[in-house]
Amino acid sequence: MTVRLIKSYQEKGMNLSAISNYLKGGEVKKAEYQRDIWVKYEILPGLEINVRRYIEEREGKKIFEIVRIAKSIIKEGKND
C-alpha cells in the first residue's frame, strides 16, 4: 500500500524528500512538489549536455553557444 502511495505522489511530481516529509505529517512546500525538468542537447550519439529548464530559459543564448562550441571541438577532433 505505501509503495503505491509513494508512486502516486511521484507521478504527481513530488520528490522523495517531500513525500517522506508529507507522510510524517509535515507540510509540503511548492518547490518540493515540482520535478526538475531537464533539456537534453545531443552533441553526438552518446555525448549530451543536460540543462535544467529554468536555466535554459534564463541563459538560452549561452547554452546554445556552449552546444555550438562543443560540436565544433568534436568536429575538429575528427579531422586530426
Q: What's the pLDDT score for residue 55? A: 87
CA distance 12 to 55: 23
Residue 1: what pLDDT?
62
Q: Where are the domains of the chain?
A: 2-33, 38-79
pTM reported for the whole predicted model: 0.55
pLDDT recorded at residue 22: 81
What nine digits make up the cell of 77?
A: 577532433
Residue 34: the pLDDT is 60
The answer, yes or no, to whether residue 72 has pLDDT greater than 90, is: yes
Answer whether 56's CB lies under 8 Å from 39's CB: yes
- What are the tens digits of pLDDT across the range 34-71? 667 788 999 999 999 999 888 888 999 999 999 999 99
